[in-house]
Amino acid sequence: MACEVVWAETAGFFPSADEAGQALAGLGAEFASMDAGSALRAGDVWRSYRRRGGKRERVIADFLIAAHALSHADRLLTRDRGFYRTYFPKLKLVDPTKP
């Protein structure tokens, strides 16, 4: 499952929305909207990140994706494990480059 942020970011890599939708469907990805609790959690964690000196290279979308996964999925597929481990320690991470 993936929220609207992932859907939109993924769609940007395809020539059309239809092709993006077909690719996501082919992967078995299901659309699951962001809920208020996940959005609020993302904001809290983002604030903590900035207060701890986090640079603007991390955008709120990273936090929204992780908070959504923490609330609605049992893991997050990402190659960026250090960042997510630090700010979402209870979220199970899966690195697609590792067997």
Residues 33, 11 contacting (CB under 8 angstroms):
no
Kindly report, residue by residue over 32-74, the tens digit of the pLDDT: 999 999 999 999 999 999 898 877 777 899 999 999 999 999 8
User: Which residue type sits at 55?
Assistant: K
Q: Give the global pTM.
A: 0.86
- What pLDDT was estimated at residue 4? 95
Quickly list H helices, 32-98. 36-51, 60-72, 81-87
Q: Delimit the domains of the chain by residue range.
A: 1-33, 35-99
User: Which residue type sits at 86?
Assistant: T
The DSSP code for 93 is E
Residues 6+ apart with CB under 8 A from 37: 71
